[in-house]
Amino acid sequence: MVYTSRAVYSYQCFYSTTDVIVEVSDNIIHTETSYTKVIEFELANKIHPDSILDLFFQIRNEVGGHTTTSAWYLNGTLYSPEYTQTGVVWLDKTTDITTPLNRGDVLTLYSKTTAGGQASTRVHRIRGKSSPFSVSYIKP
């Protein structure tokens, strides 16, 4: 068997487009008026600190005239602004991830509704350009 060597310069293995890294698309509905855990992502691997990531989801209330409020938490600490939507039209919400993430970090989406309403979220995603490598590789 014959092998051919070739140099590899500044190889970082970044995804070239914004891809969905993980998604739970289920429509999750509840009637709680205090914050309730909707979805949770636990990172199984370290992500390169130069990765460009965001959290995405859609929000609405299943009952017209009622409001759903949602927010992301990182390891139990509020991470995003509170997002609200009144009524039955789906709204896209995005939060940039600006904190380097580590293995075991937990991103959790909580939501609540006004009395008589039904909080609803769906298409829960971590999206972005990411790399599993911490340094460039250059063939010696």
Q: Is residue 85 domain-resident?
A: yes
Residue 49 lies in a domain: yes
Is residue 5 assigned to a domain? no
Q: Structure tokens of 114?
A: 């006004």
The CATH number of whichever domain residue 92 belongs to comes to: 2.60.120.260
- The answer to whether residue 8 is domain-embedded is no
Judge contact between 107 and 74, C-beta under 8 A: yes
Alpha-carbon distance values, 60 to 18, 26, 42, 89 (Å): 25, 14, 25, 6
Q: What is the pTM of this model?
A: 0.79
> Residue 77: what pLDDT?
97
Report yes or no on 58 lying in a domain. Answer: yes
Weakly modelled stretches of the chain, pLDDT under 70: 1-18, 46, 48, 130-140
Residue 9 lies in a domain: no
Count of the separate structural domains present in the chain? 1
Domain that holds residue 62: 19-129
pLDDT score at 18: 61
Element (H, E) at 42: strand 36-42
